[in-house]
């Protein structure tokens, strides 16, 4: 058999997907599995978005789309950035991709040279370092400890920067911890970045609408406009509008970078689905009511889950202020043995034993760069979350 590319040697399936596959296999064998592994909203796509997609299809908008997005969606994205983020962009400064992940991939592919470093604070979304390594870059992970509410300090950011640093990636609200970022923190990061004018900054704001308490969301490019010519701000419709399957993400940034990213996309996937883009226009221009409902619902579920986790034997849990995850610590469970006989040496052992013995799927913190923790999605109905927490409590009580 001909050889595969050597770059695949370190490329692994995301742990979120792997755990979901395990859950599906157990379900196929008749087990009642509760999966809290994926970041998948449990709400329906807004009806107006579905109607807009249907109307677009009937109107014949089914041809190849512009590489960087339809005029209507680019206008909606620009309006959204101006209205919600205080950012004014021209058409040449925004682009649309097949999900936020493609925008990220385009940006790194357009800029990274072999050996370039990308500062990715930990805990992090698992795809950041994977894409970095796939493109020849080197991830650098300053830690954001639980004692600081998983926040990045300016000192840790400064210490992580070297002459090889090409990008700094900031993700607020954070996946997996739900950490948010105040204006004061953003200004402190800006003070560090001012001293390093050769560095690009990527702000992943995909969860920006899902903040429950603490400071309101702010974009670094608005807080520090003097850095605007090297900041890429990423958003999308997947999380805020329950449109994960529609695959629409977007980015706003300096025109030369957007142009290079568009060139990358033109040689990869080309433009995103015209039907999905029509749906995204409707969501961005009229989906505020759903966003508010989701925010209130997720806040209640967050409180329910965090309260239950804190009552479990051996579990700690910081309060997430945004997104729809909890990130409990399990340090006191390490070194114990489960009721089913598995020695819990790592958070992965815990997650595997939990799904095998109690049929609850979560993701180990090691997949996000910080152990021993777990990531649980609260994007499920109250009864499901209560049942999952009850099973987890039984599991923790059974550790010896």
Domain ranges of the chain: 6-44+289-397, 47-287
pLDDT, the chain, mean = 96
pLDDT of residue 9: 78
pLDDT of residue 12: 76
Contact of 176 with 325, CB cutoff 8 Å = yes
Tell me, rounded to whole angstroms, the distance of Cα 126 from its chain centroid.
8
pLDDT of residue 94: 98
Length of the chain: 400
How is residue 23 written in tokens?
């859950």
112-118: list long-range contacts, CB under 8 Å, 24+ apart: 112/136, 112/137, 112/166, 112/167, 113/166, 115/164, 116/164, 116/165, 116/166, 116/167, 117/162, 117/164, 117/165, 117/166, 118/165, 118/166, 118/167, 118/168, 118/169
Q: State yes or no: pLDDT of 11 exceeds 90.
A: no
Q: How confident is the model at residue 304 (pLDDT cuts 50, 70, 90)?
A: very high
96 strand-pairing partners: 250
- Section 53-57 average pLDDT: 98
- Section 128-148 average pLDDT: 96
Same-fold call for 6-44+289-397 versus 47-287? no
pLDDT of residue 148: 95
Distances (CA, A) of 198 to 114, 166, 168, 227, 230: 16, 7, 11, 11, 9
Q: State yes or no: pLDDT of 111 exceeds 90.
A: yes
- Section 210-222 average pLDDT: 94
Q: Which has the closest alpha carbon to 311: 368, 390, 256?
A: 390
- Section 234-249 average pLDDT: 97
Contact of 29 with 356, CB cutoff 8 Å = no
pLDDT of residue 21: 87
**Locate tokens 């849990």: which residue?**
317
Q: State yes or no: pLDDT of 287 exceeds 90.
A: no
Percent residues over pLDDT 90 in the chain: 92
169 strand-pairing partners: 202
Tell me, rounded to whole angstroms, the distance of Cα 60 from its chain centroid.
34
- Select the CATH number that applies to the domain covering 6-44+289-397 from these four: 3.40.50.12160, 1.10.12.10, 3.90.1150.10, 2.60.40.10: 3.90.1150.10
Q: pTM of this prediction?
A: 0.96
pLDDT in tens, 18-50: 888 888 898 898 999 999 998 899 999 999 999
pLDDT of residue 157: 98
The fold of 47-287 is 3.40.640
Q: State yes or no: pLDDT of 268 exceeds 80.
A: yes
Distances (CA, A) of 335 to 4, 344, 346: 39, 5, 8
Query: What is the C-alpha to C-alpha distance for residues 183 and 215, in angstroms, rounded to an integer?
Result: 8
Between 344 and 215, residue with greater pLDDT: 344
DSSP string covering 193-241: HHT-TT-EEEEE-TTTT-B-SSSPP--HHHH-GGGGGGEEEEEESTTTT
pLDDT of residue 303: 98
pLDDT in tens, 340-381: 999 999 999 999 999 999 999 999 999 999 999 999 999 999
DSSP symbol at 153: P
Provide the 3-class DSSP secondary structure of residue 256.
helix
- Section 116-128 average pLDDT: 97
Q: How confident is the model at residue 144 (pLDDT cuts 50, 70, 90)?
A: very high
pLDDT in tens, 75-88: 999 999 999 999 99
Q: How confident is the model at residue 10 (pLDDT cuts 50, 70, 90)?
A: confident
pLDDT of residue 19: 85
């Amino acid at each position: 058999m001909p050889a595969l590319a050597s770059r695949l040697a370190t490329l692994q399936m995301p742990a979120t997907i792997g755990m979901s596959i395990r859950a599906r296999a157990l379900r196929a064998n008749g087990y009642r599995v509760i999966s809290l592994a994926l970041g998948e909203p449990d709400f329906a796509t807004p009806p107006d978005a579905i109607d807009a997609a249907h109307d677009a299809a009937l109107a014949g908008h089914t041809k190849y789309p512009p590489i960087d997005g339809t005029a209507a969606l680019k206008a909606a994205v620009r309006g959204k950035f101006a209205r919600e983020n205080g950012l004014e962009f021209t058409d040449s400064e925004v682009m649309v991709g097949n999900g936020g992940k493609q925008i990220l991939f385009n940006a790194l592919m357009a800029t990274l040279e072999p050996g370039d470093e990308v500062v990715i604070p930990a805990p992090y979304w698992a795809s950041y370092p994977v894409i970095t390594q796939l493109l020849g870059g080197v991830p650098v992970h300053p830690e954001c400890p639980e004692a600081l509410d998983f926040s990045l300090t300016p000192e840790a950011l400064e210490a992580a920067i070297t002459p090889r640093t090409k990008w700094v990636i900031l993700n607020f609200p954070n996946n997996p911890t739900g950490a948010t970022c105040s204006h004061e923190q953003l200004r402190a990061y800006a003070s560090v970045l001012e001293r390093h004018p050769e560095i690009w900054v990527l702000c992943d704001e995909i969860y920006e609408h899902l903040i429950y308490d603490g400071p309101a969301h702010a974009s670094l490019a608005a807080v520090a406009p003097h850095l605007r010519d090297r900041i890429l701000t990423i958003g999308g419709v997947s999380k805020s509008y329950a449109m994960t399957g529609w695959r629409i993400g977007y980015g706003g940034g300096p025109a030369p970078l957007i142009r290079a990213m568009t060139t990358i996309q033109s040689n990869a996937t080309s433009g995103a689905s015209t039907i999905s883009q029509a749906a995204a226009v409707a969501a961005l221009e009229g989906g505020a009511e759903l966003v508010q409902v989701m925010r209130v619902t997720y806040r209640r579920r967050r409180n329910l889950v965090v309260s239950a986790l804190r009552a479990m034997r051996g579990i700690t849990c910081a309060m997430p202020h945004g997104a729809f995850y909890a990130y409990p610590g399990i340090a006191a469970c390490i070194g114990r043995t489960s009721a089913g006989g598995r020695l819990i040496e790592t958070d992965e052992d815990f997650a595997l034993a939990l799904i095998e013995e109690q049929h609850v799927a979560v993701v180990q913190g090691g997949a996000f760069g910080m152990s021993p923790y777990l990531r649980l999605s609260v994007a499920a109905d109250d009864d499901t979350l209560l049942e999952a927490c009850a099973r987890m409590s039984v599991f923790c009580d059974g550790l010896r």
